[in-house]
Amino acid sequence: MCPEGTILKVNIYGTEYPIRGEVDVEYIRRVAEYVDRKMREVDQNTAAKSSLKVAILAALNIADELFRERDEKTGLLKSFEAQADRLSQVLNENLKE
């Protein structure tokens, strides 16, 4: 955990940011490294060279990943619920016999 008042300095795309948080310091570092990596990927794959444009495109890529993960999670949850319902029906039918 990050003790209250502790500031962790992280470097994202060449700029240092002071981050204050009440979560694990390693978690903050991992998130910052992920954002830095995404911004560098965008920088290498596009002609957008302003930091703002790179940040916006990286944010769009990260949001796309989030939405895809949410959709996949929702699909899996629905599939598991349907399987649980079928199992429940089979159990109920067999218990009646």
CA of 93: how far to CAs of 22, 37, 63, 87, 97, in Å? 51, 54, 45, 10, 7
* Residue 21 in domain: yes
Measured distance CA(51)–CA(18) in Å, rounded: 18
pLDDT at residue 5 is higher than 70? no
* Residue 85 in domain: yes
pLDDT at residue 75 is higher than 70? yes
State the chain's mean pLDDT as an integer: 92
Which of 22-26, 33-37, 68-72, 79-83 is predicted least confidently? Answer: 22-26
* Residue 1 in domain: no
Q: What is the pLDDT of residue 6?
A: 76
Domain range for 57 is 7-96
Helices (H) and strands (E) counted in the chain, each on its own, are 2, 2
- Domain count along the chain: 1
7-38 per-position pLDDT tens digit: 899 999 999 999 988 888 999 999 999 999 99
* Residue 2 in domain: no
* Residue 31 in domain: yes
Give the CA radius of gyration of the chain.
22
